[in-house]
């Protein structure tokens, strides 16, 4: 497993930690990412668009505000969000604890 810390990811605030569950070799060119992502208190993953791929988030713990192509909605553990190709999303941790979720990018 590879762990990377990214400051100001996609123009967001603070640090995002990505724990890659599988690497490129295991993903067989069909997935761009399969990882556990942690957004710390007061941090965010900035709004970004996907082209030629879709992304799904599954919230494990914490709470936040999810930007679904401009529409903001609160999210908590157990919520699933899907962003198809040609659309965008972002996520802000609004809680007092880490916001942790699984991210899966499927290539078109």
| pLDDT, tens only, 48-85 | 999 999 999 999 999 999 999 999 999 999 999 999 99
For the chain, the domains span 2-107
pLDDT at 24 over 80: no
Asked if CATH classification 2.60.120.10 holds for the domain at 2-107, the reply, yes or no, is yes
Euclidean distance between CA atoms 77 and 59, whole angstroms: 5
**pLDDT value at position 73?**
98
Residue 80: CB atoms within 10 A of its CB come to 11
How many Å is the Cα radius of gyration of the chain? 13
pLDDT tier at 1 (50, 70, 90 boundaries)? confident
Q: Which pTM was predicted?
A: 0.94
Average pLDDT, the chain: 96
The encoded tokens of residue 72 equal: 């903001």
pLDDT tier at 26 (50, 70, 90 boundaries)? confident
- Can you tell me which residue has the tokens 């529409």? 71
Euclidean distance between CA atoms 85 and 99, whole angstroms: 24
């Amino acid at each position: 497993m590879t762990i990377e810390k990214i400051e100001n990811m996609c123009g967001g605030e603070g640090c995002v930690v990505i724990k890659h569950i599988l690497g490129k070799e295991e993903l067989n060119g069909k997935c761009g990412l399969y990882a556990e992502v942690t957004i710390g208190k007061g941090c965010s993953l900035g709004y970004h668009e996907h082209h030629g791929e879709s992304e799904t988030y599954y919230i494990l713990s914490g709470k936040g505000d999810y930007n679904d192509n401009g529409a903001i909605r609160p999210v908590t553990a157990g919520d699933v969000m899907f962003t198809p190709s040609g659309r965008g999303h972002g996520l802000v941790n609004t809680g007092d604890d880490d916001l942790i979720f699984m991210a899966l990018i499927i290539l078109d």
